Amino acid sequence: MKSLIRRSRSHVILVLCMLSLSGLCTGEADSGDDGAPMDKTEQAALYSAIQGFVGNLWNGSDLYPDPCGWTPIQGVSCDIFDGLWYVTSLSIGPIHENSLICAPIVEFRQDLFELKHLRSLSFFSCFISPHQHPIALPTTDWSKLAGNLESLEFRSNPGSIGQIPTCFGNLINLQSLVLLENGLTGEIPENIGHLTSLKRLVLAGNWFTGRIPDSFGRLNELLILDLNRNLLSGPLPLTIEGLTSLLKLDLSNNQLEGQLPNGIGYLKNLTLLDLRNNKFSGGLTKSLQEMYSLEEMVLSTNSIGGDLKSIEWDKLQNLVILDLSNLGLVGEIPDSFGQLKRLRFLGLSDNKLTGSLSPKLASLPCVGALYVGGNNLTGELKFSQEFYRKMGRRFGAWSNPNLCYPGGLVSTSHAPYGVKPCQQELRSHSD
């Protein structure tokens, strides 16, 4: 009886398999996307484009006969249009274990620009030899991708040289343009300001020169603007006030100069403002106090100057990091700093500040680092022992010759860095 049941089950399974195979042969089972073919022209263009970057020894048709189906290529994504598979995303470089790795000598083939459904294109650590095998970005054909391309990224490609192709300004659907840590040079094209759909513009870590284009003021949907570590010069464009959606503005480590424009106060959604290591001057514009959303303000190492009390700091209640070191600031440290309840880092080193250090700073519940070295602060520090223990070496007040701490109350292990005890000061005078 058991033998009969086993034979019956085997017969049923065999019939089901035959029906399944029959359906596949006639196309009846091909009701989902998995059975859709890939456009042959698209497939050939994909193989050729990839081969230009990874080398002629790479044979896509042998390795990945169905690149959008059962033999997918790492870094390639597809979607169906009119019943056929087309490439929508292409990523070249060692991002994942099985990623496509570039050959020493690479080639931008025309086939890349035939992938007209491409929404995302990225190259990571692909062009790495600026001396032996430099490669310039193509200056034409990018417009062929304008209909769909939303993200274009070149990251960590020091062998990528030359200027930004002006035809990048025709990629009107771009939402993200990232040219990070490459070997690109020249001025930033004015027509980048035509990309009004941009949410992210990162041009950091290159060798760009000249001014920030006035046209950037049209990018009113921009959330991130990062131009740090370049050779940009000149003043900030007044049109910067148009970037009202901006959350992050990083212009650090350039050669920018002039006064901070009053219009910067219109950037009320900004959470990070980093202008360190430039040549700004002309004092702290009062409009900075209107940037209520700021969590990080880093202005250090500029020639800004002016009175620290010219700003009502207590209006910036969201500040977590405030670095005003090496700005040439004068005046006293305002008590209003003591009202910044979220502040974790306060840097005021290497200025020309005078007066005493307010004990109200100890009331900051989150502060973990306080640096006021290199000023002309005077008097006895009047903080609690608990504050000194909490801060340790992160309370730095070196190079303030007339500043001291109460040595009888504070042990040397908890003393603020670079400050001498007051008793020692008194003894030296009596001698």
Beta bridge partners of residue 370, listed in sequence order: 346, 395
Helix (H, G, I), strand (E, B) or coil at 187: strand
Tokens of 275: 């202008």
pLDDT at position 187 is 98
CA torsion, points 180, 184, 185, 186, in degrees to nearest 10? Answer: -80
What tens-digit pLDDT sequence spans the chain (431 residues)? 434 334 444 443 333 333 333 333 322 223 335 578 999 999 999 999 999 999 999 999 999 999 999 999 999 999 999 999 999 999 999 988 889 999 999 999 999 999 999 999 999 999 999 999 999 999 999 999 999 999 999 999 999 999 999 999 999 999 999 999 999 999 999 999 999 999 999 999 999 999 999 999 999 999 999 999 999 999 999 999 999 999 999 999 999 999 999 999 999 999 999 999 999 999 999 999 999 999 999 999 999 999 999 999 999 999 999 999 999 999 999 989 999 999 999 999 999 999 999 888 888 999 999 999 999 999 999 888 888 888 888 999 999 999 998 877 777 777 888 888 886 544 444 44
Residues 136 and 121: their CA atoms lie apart, in Å, by: 17
Collect contacts of 306-310 with beta carbons under 8 A, ≥24 apart. Answer: 306/282, 306/330, 307/283, 307/331, 308/284, 308/332, 308/333, 308/334, 308/348, 308/351, 308/353, 309/334, 310/283, 310/284, 310/286
Residues 45 and 113: their CA atoms lie apart, in Å, by: 9
User: Is 404:429 a contact under the CB 8 Å cutoff?
Assistant: no
pLDDT at position 423 is 66
Q: pTM to 2 decimals? A: 0.89
| Integer CA distances (angstroms), 242 to 34, 217, 266, in order | 47, 5, 8
* DSSP secondary structure letters along 41-68: HHHHHHHHHHHHHH-TT--HHHH-SSTT
What Rg, from alpha-carbon coordinates, does the chain have? Answer: 31
pLDDT at position 50 is 98
- Give the residue extent of every domain in the chain: 38-115
pLDDT at position 414 is 79
Residues 61 and 66: their CA atoms lie apart, in Å, by: 8
Distance of CA 431 to the CA centre of its chain: 58
pLDDT at position 161 is 96
- Answer positive or negative: Cα dihedral of 416, 418, 422, 423: positive
Tokens of 51: 């081969």
Q: Is residue 8 packed enough to be buried (19+ CB in 10 Å), middle (13-18) or exposed (0-12)? A: exposed
CB-facing half-sphere around the CA of 186: CA atoms within 13 A: 12
Report the candidate in 268, 308, 306 with the shortest Cα–Cα distance to residue 287.
268
